[in-house]
Amino acid sequence: MSDDLLRVRGLSTRFFTEEGQVNAVEDVSFTVRDGEVFGIVGESGSGKSVTALSLLDLVESPGRITDGEIWYRNPELADEYSGEFVDGDFVDVVRLPKRARRALRGPSFSMIFQDPMTSMDPSVTVGEQIAEAVEVQRRASANPRSTRSRTQGYGLGSLLLDSVVPTREYVSDESWARAVSLLEDVGIPDAKDRAREYPHEFSGGMLQRAMVAQALAGEPDLLVADEPTTALDVTIQAQILDLLREIQDERDTSIVLITHNLGVIARMADRIGVMYAGEVVERGTLADIFDDHVHPYTRGLVESVPDLDDPDARLDPIEGSVPSLLDAEMDDRCYFADRCPKAMEECLEDPAEFDAGDGGEHTAKCYLADREYDESRALADGHFDEEVGDGE
C-alpha cells in the first residue's frame, strides 16, 4: 500500500450569504494515497464540488473554509515552515500563509473542470494558454519567493503592447515547445498545428484533453477532476478516462475524481467517498461501496441506476429530495433520515463515523454500521412530514 499523499480531516466550508449560512461541506475527512484515484460520488447539493474547490483554495467569498485541516505530504515545505501546522513531512495547507498556499497551485495541486468550453479563454489560442501555465511554473520555480516575478510581464501593459506589436512573444519559445509536447502527451494529433488554434475550433473531447495538458504543466502531485466527462459523449468519455488512467500510471499522479456517475467511479476509482448533504456518509474501497455498502443512501444510489446488463422491471428510486443546506434549516440529526427506509430513533442524533467492520478502512456515518436494524425503533413514516413541503 502506497503512502498517504493528502489527509483531509474535519474539513468544513461554509457560505455566509444574504439568505443565511450555507453548510456546503461539513466535517469531511478522507485520505488520498500516492498514485491512486480517490473518487467522490454525490449528486447535486452533496458538497462534492465545494470540497474540490476547498482543496485548491478556490472557494470565493462569501464562502470560506471554517474548520479542519488538509495535510499535504511535502518534505520541502515541511522543512521551510515550522509550527503547529507542520507534522513530520506533512503541512496543513489550510494554515499555510496565503502566498504559499497559492504557490501550491500548479506544482502540487491542479484541477480540471466540467465544461472545457467555459474554462478556456476563447480569445487566446490553446497553445498559448498552456504555454502560459508552463511559463508561470517555470518562473515560480526559478524564484519561489517572489510572486511578483512570477506574474511579471502579464499585466495590462503587456497585453496592450501585444495587441499593437504582434511580433512580441507572449510566452517564451521554451514554454511553447513544452506546451506542444504536453498536447502530444494527452493524445491530441497534429499538436503543433492544433496548438495555434482557438478553443472553439476544438471539439469537446479535444478541449478537455487540452485542459488536462494545462493541468499537467506544473507536474502536480494531485489532480482534481470535477466531473471531467459529464459534458462529453460516452465514447469520448471513454477516451478521456483512458487518458486519466494513463496519467495516473505513467506519472504516478494521484487523482481526486468527482462525479455523480457510478459507472465512471467503478471504472476509475481505487477508493471512494460517498457524499450527501455536505458530509461523507460512507468511505471505502470500490468493493466496499458497491458490494458491501452499509449506508442506505449508498444502497439507494447503487440500486437506482438502471443497469445496462440487467434491466429490472422497475427501478428503485430514493423517494424525496435533497435537503437544504441552510444552517437555519438543518437539525442536528442524520441528514438522510427523512428519506431513509431504515431510519430509527437514534437517527435523530447525528451519527458518528462508524467502522463498517471489514477490517479495512470502510467507514459509514450510519448507525447501521454499528448495530442491526431494529424495526421496533423505526421512525414512523410521517415523522418528518412538516419538513417535507413538496409533494414528492
Partner 1 sequence: MSDPLLEVSDLQKHYYERDSLLDTVLRRDPTAVQAVDGVSFEVREGETLGLVGESGCGKSTTGETVLRLREPTGGTVTFDGEDVADLSGDDLTAFRKRAGIVFQDPYGSLDPRMTAGEIVREPLDVHGVGTPDDREERVRDLLERVGLSADQFDRYPHEFSGGQQQRVGIARALALEPDFLVLDEPVSALDVSVQAQILNLLDDLQEEFGLTYLLIAHDLSVVRHVCDRVAVMYLGELVETGPVADIFERPQHPYTRALLESVPRPETAEADREITTLSGDVPSPRDPPSGCRFRTRCPAVIPPDDLDIDQSAFRAITDIRDHLDSGDLDADDVAAADEWRERVPDDVPPAAADALDDAFASLADNDEAAARERLRERFETVCERENPRLGDGEREAACHLVD
- The binding site for partner 1 (CB under 8 A) comprises 43-44, 189-190, 192-193, 203-206, 233-239, 241-242, 260-268, 286-287, 290-291, 300-302, 304-309, 311-312, 314-319, 321-322, 390-392
Return the C-alpha cell found at 14.
Answer: 461554509
Peptide bond into 62 cis (omega under 30): yes
Burial letters for 284-323: b for 16+ Cβ neighbours within 10 Å, e otherwise?
bbbebbeeebbbbbbbbbbeeeeeeeeeeeeeeebeeebb
* Cell of residue 311, nine digits: 434491466
Q: Which is nearer to partner 1, 122 or 311 (CB)?
A: 311
- Toward partner 1, which CB reaches closer, 154 or 290? 290
- 78 or 266: whose CB is closer to partner 1? 266
Write down the least CB distance from residue 128 to partner 1, Å.
21
**Least gap, CB of 311 to partner 1 (angstroms):** 5
Nearer to partner 1, 66 or 181 (CB): 181
- In the complex, what is the shortest distance from the CB of residue 389 to partner 1, in angstroms, rounded to a whole number? 9
Residue 73 Cβ vs partner 1, minimum distance, rounded to whole Å: 25
Q: How far is the CB of 318 from partner 1 (least distance, A)?
A: 4
Q: Which three cell numbers stand for residue 24?
A: 456546503
Closer CB to partner 1, 78 or 326, in the complex = 326
Residues 238, 358: Cα–Cα separation, whole Å: 32
**Nearest distance in Å: CB 82, partner 1:** 41
Beta carbon of residue 229, minimum distance to partner 1 (angstroms, whole number) = 9
At residue 104, what are phi and psi to the nearest 5 degrees? -70, -25
Nearer to partner 1, 100 or 326 (CB): 326
Eight-state DSSP code of residue 287: H
Of 124 and 286, which CB lies nearer to partner 1 in the complex structure?
286
Listed in sequence order, the residues at least 6 apart from 243 whose beta carbon sits closer than 8 Å to its beta carbon are 186, 187, 209, 212
Amino acid at 95: R
> Exposure of 137 by Cβ count < 10 A (0-12 exposed, 13-18 middle, 19+ buried)?
buried
Are the CB atoms for 336 and 387 separated by under 8 Å? Answer: no
